[in-house]
Amino acid sequence: DVVMTQTPVSLPVSLGGQASISCRSSQSLVHSNGNTYLHWYLQKPGQSPQLLIYRVSNRFSGVPDRFSGSGSGTDFTLKISRVEPEDLGDYYCLQSTHFPQTFGGGTKLELK
Residues that bind another protein (CB under 8 A): 37, 39, 41, 47-51, 54-55, 60, 92, 94, 96, 99-106
CA-based nearest residue to 77, from 2, 3, 6: 6
Closer residue to another protein in complex, CB, 41/76:
41
Closer residue to another protein in complex, CB, 13/49:
49
CA distances from 3 to 47, 64, 65, 102, 104 (A): 25, 29, 28, 7, 7
- Least separation, in Å, of the C-beta of 41 and another protein? 8
- Least separation, in Å, of the C-beta of 32 and another protein? 16
- Least separation, in Å, of the C-beta of 17 and another protein? 25
The C-alpha atoms of residue 6 and residue 23 are separated, in whole angstroms, by: 4
Closer residue to another protein in complex, CB, 94/109:
94
At a CB cut-off of 8 Å and minimum separation 6, what does 40 contact?
Answer: 23, 51, 52, 53, 67, 69, 78, 91, 92, 93, 94
- Least separation, in Å, of the C-beta of 95 and another protein? 10
Closer residue to another protein in complex, CB, 17/110:
110
